[in-house]
Amino acid sequence: MRSLKTLHSISLLAAVLAIGSIAACGRPNEYNDVAFGDRHRWDSREDAAYRRWEAERRIEHVEFDRRAAADQSAYWSWRHAHP
């Protein structure tokens, strides 16, 4: 009986940890670009391009998903012009 309780506790802990790790993944892997009708995978290359866009505009770094929708749209327009 004791080993069964231990097994249930371990299973519950594993489930909680799995859910927590999924929630902690951070930004989504893909963004929809509505204006151009395509999707962009967010990876290290995209992050570097985004930081270059910020640097060219001399604006403070803000995570992309926290930017205003107008700024996100401006970034995607710039990105299409700078593949």
- pLDDT tens digit sequence for 24-45: 455 568 888 888 888 889 999 9
pLDDT at residue number 34: 82
Please say if the pLDDT value at position 78 is more than 50. yes
Give the pLDDT of residue 2: 72
Q: What would you report as the CA-atom Rg of the chain, rounded to the nearest whole angstrom?
A: 20
**DSSP code of 75?**
H
Question: Taking the mean position of all CA atoms in its chain, how far away is CA 42?
Answer: 7
What residues pair up with 32 in beta bridges, in sequence order? 39
Span between the terminal Cα atoms of the chain, in Å = 62
Q: Residue 1: is its pLDDT beyond 90?
A: no
Q: Residue ranges per domain, the chain? A: 2-81
For tokens 């803000």, what's the residue? 62
